[in-house]
Amino acid sequence: MSDTLSVVVVGCGAISRAWLGAVGLQEEVELSALVDIRREAAQRAAQEHDVSDALVETDLEGALRAVRPDVVFNCTVPEAHCPVTLTALQHGCHVLTEKPLSDNMADARRMVEAARREGRMLAVVQNRRYLPQVRALRDFVASGRIGRVTTVQSNFFLGPHFGGFREQMRHVLLVDMAIHTFDAARCMTGADATSVYCHEWNPAGSWYAHGASAVAIFEMTGGIVYTYQGSWCSEGLPTSWEGDWCIIGDKGAVTWDGHDALRAEVVAEQDGFMSRLDEVEVPVPHMETTGHDAVIREFIRCVRTGKRPETAASDNIKSLAMVFGAVESAERGQKVPVDA
Ligand SMILES: NC(=O)c1ccc[n+]([C@@H]2O[C@H](COP(=O)([O-])OP(=O)(O)OC[C@H]3O[C@@H](n4cnc5c(N)ncnc54)[C@H](O)[C@@H]3O)[C@@H](O)[C@H]2O)c1
């Protein structure tokens, strides 16, 4: 493998700016081609990011044959994630794809299997994992300070007026956004969901066609119960895009407001009606880089070393299964198993 990895970016819409900005900062990566079924999107991306050397193409196979890249970055819309990824894997490329891995579980499983068969890396940009406060919660829980985790709760209440496709989508909150929050719950606890009961509705006044609000109760491994409450048509007193969190263990609890405030109390002494509690610090790690840039850097490092990325599709599919488990439960009105 040469010092510089050749990369093709497929899908040059809104989110590709975050990717191309990050790629521009990385010396080990050379952008060889920009592909979009809309030529004008690929051309605009090439101009905006000053990459006039890169091939601009509408045909993915043609681009892959022409530049024979090491890596494909898949920034297309969810329904294109599977076909684009399978084509790239067949051409011997490692693939880092935008979330969600796929818009359905059957294709997600095919993608994981294809990567295994081809012996290539496939991972997902689950960028909200790569935030110092999410890392802080994960490390704090793992340190055992609050004992054994029993209960997790997250609230996500925002009122974005996106316009566009989201306002027509079915299950919009669960399918377009909740993957970040569900994946964060797995990251913080190290536990996986085994079942879910979800109630989904579209509140009066919603500017979405379907499913702007949901409450989901997940049973997780280790006996943890995780409750998610969310809405995308909640005006006033918004949470952050990360949501606010409370994690309770048998020796204490920790909260995060989704911004900078992390608080924890642990049992100091239990010999009366209520335990005496000590407030303890939750150390926040220093991170050189966060978000898309951090995921892309880790992926490139893993391609070089053969190490498995944290957001490998074979693991991330367990977060996706929480999304589609919640959708199935909401449609059937009953608790369902969560199967990756
Ligand atoms: N990680 C995050 O925080 C985050 C934020 C926003 C969007 N996203 C995800 O990024 C993805 C793209 O979202 P977006 O907002 O950029 O959408 P977008 O519609 O702005 O851009 C998608 C682009 O993909 C192109 N495209 C579609 N099918 C293609 C195909 N088969 N081959 C080549 N190009 C194709 C479209 O022409 C378009 O230019 C989605 O999966 C979305 O969920 C992630």
Query: Could you write out the DSSP letters of every residue in 138-198?
Result: HHHHHTTTT-SEEEEEEEEE------GGGGG-TTHIIIIIHHHHHHHHHHHH---EEEEEE
Q: Is the CB of 36 under 6 A from ligand 1?
A: yes
Give percent of the chain with pLDDT exceeding 90.
93
Q: Which residue of 9, 15, 290 sits with most ligand 1 atoms within 8 Å of its CB, as the best mutation to test the pocket?
A: 15
Q: Is the model's pLDDT at 56 over the cut of 80? A: yes
Q: What is the pLDDT of residues 115-171, one digit of tens each?
A: 999 999 999 999 999 999 999 999 999 999 999 999 999 999 999 999 988 899 999
Chain centroid to Cα 69, Å, comes to: 25
Say how far apart CA 17 and CA 47 lie, in whole Å.
12
Say how far apart CA 33 and CA 26 lie, in whole Å.
16
20 CB burial (10 A radius; 0-12, 13-18, 19+): buried
pLDDT at 332: 98
Task: With H, G, I as helix, E, B as strand and everything else as coil, classify residue 19.
Answer: helix
Q: Is the CB of 75 under 6 A from ligand 1?
A: yes
Q: What is the pLDDT of residues 245-255, one digit of tens each?
A: 999 999 999 99
Q: Is the CB of 311 under 6 A from ligand 1?
A: no
Say how far apart CA 136 and CA 226 lie, in whole Å.
19
Q: Is the model's pLDDT at 3 over the cut of 80? A: no
Which ligand 1 atom is at minimum distance from the Cα of 165? Answer: 19
Q: Is the model's pLDDT at 334 over the cut of 70? A: yes
Q: Calculate how far, in angstroms, residue 15's C-alpha sits from the geometric centre of ligand 1.
A: 6
Q: Is the model's pLDDT at 262 over the cut of 70? A: yes
pLDDT at 50: 86
Average pLDDT over residues 180-199: 98
Q: Which residue of 12, 73, 98, 240 sits with most ligand 1 atoms within 8 Å of its CB, as the best mutation to test the pocket?
A: 98
Q: Is the CB of 15 under 6 A from ligand 1?
A: yes
Mean pLDDT score of the chain: 96
pLDDT at 26: 81
Q: List domains and CATH numbers for the chain.
A: 5-120 (3.40.50.720), 129-285+321-337 (3.30.360.10)
Q: Calculate how far, in angstroms, residue 98's C-alpha sits from the geometric centre of ligand 1.
A: 8
Q: Is the model's pLDDT at 2 over the cut of 80? A: no
Residue of the CA atom closest to atom 43 of ligand 1: 99
Q: Is the model's pLDDT at 1 over the cut of 70? A: no
Where does residue 55 fall: left (phi above 0), alpha (psi -120 to 50 degrees), or beta otherwise? beta
Q: What is the pLDDT of residues 76-128, one digit of tens each?
A: 999 999 999 999 999 999 999 999 999 999 999 999 999 999 999 999 999 99
Q: Is the CB of 12 under 6 A from ligand 1?
A: yes
Average pLDDT over residues 39-49: 95
Which ligand 1 atom is at minimum distance from the Cα of 58? Answer: 33
Q: Is the CB of 45 under 6 A from ligand 1?
A: no
